[in-house]
Amino acid sequence: MTSVPLREVLSPEYLDAEDDLRTLAHKLDSHRSAAGRVAWHWYPGTEPPPTSTEPGETAGEFGVYHLLVDATIQLYATGADWLELTLDIAWSPSSKVTVNAAVEVACWCIQDHNMHQVRRTQWHVTNSGEMVDAFTAGTAMLADILDKGPFEPQPWRILAGLPDPSNTKP
């Protein structure tokens, strides 16, 4: 997060949150289970986005999110399987600023969806105070997983009732 130019990414009404966001992000970056695994990206553009899909946008099952800043924490990765935690600030499909925290695993369905979000929480925010509250809750959700795991994708898929290599073999 140190390298993210938040002033180029966030609208003025959220800039009072900058110090708190950096403090919270640093706590996440330095968690013992996350150290060296966190990657931050940002996509300057403080105006609400057009509705087209462009780089920095992600089309999820809830619509197109226009990312402003995001962190991915890769907990497990082989050639074929992976588990990742994500935290982002984005414009929602309805052009509201949202903070999103999620657990993502590789898809093992017969029809390939690429990825499944097996846990996801999001908060709409309208000012710096709400931004800090949401970021606090989002980093806490991820820190809880970093404390306890599971650190492999299989248990998450089974918990979510998704096909898994271990239960699709005869």
The interface region with Zn ion, picked from 29-37, 39-47, 68-76, 111-119 by CB under 5 A, is 111-119
Please report how close the Cβ of residue 111 comes to Zn ion at its closest, in angstroms: 7
Which C-beta is closer to Zn ion: that of 136 or that of 154?
154
Q: Is 165 in the site for Zn ion (CB under 5 A)?
A: no
Please report how close the Cβ of residue 109 comes to Zn ion at its closest, in angstroms: 3
Q: Whole-angstrom Cα distance, residue 68 to residue 17?
A: 15
Please report how close the Cβ of residue 9 comes to Zn ion at its closest, in angstroms: 31
Please report how close the Cβ of residue 112 comes to Zn ion at its closest, in angstroms: 7
One residue of 35, 59, 77, 109 binding Zn ion per CB under 5 A = 109
Which C-beta is closer to Zn ion: that of 30 or that of 167?
167
Count, residues near Zn ion per rule CB under 5 A: 3
Q: Is 41 in the site for Zn ion (CB under 5 A)?
A: no
Which C-beta is closer to Zn ion: that of 109 or that of 140?
109
The interface region with Zn ion, picked from 71-79, 84-92, 99-107, 126-134 by CB under 5 A, is 99-107
Q: Whole-angstrom Cα distance, residue 42 to residue 73?
A: 15
For the chain, the three-class secondary structure string (H helix, E strand, C coil) is CCCCCHHHHCCHHHHHHHHHHHHHHHHHHCCCCCCCCEEEEECCCCCCCCCCCCCCEEEECCEEEEEEEEEEEEEEECCCCEEEEEEEEEECCCCCEEEEEEEEEECCCCCCCCEEEEEEEEEECCCHHHHHHHHHHHHHHHHHHHHHCCCCHHHHHHHCCCCCHHHHCC
The binding site for Zn ion (CB under 5 A) comprises 107, 109, 113
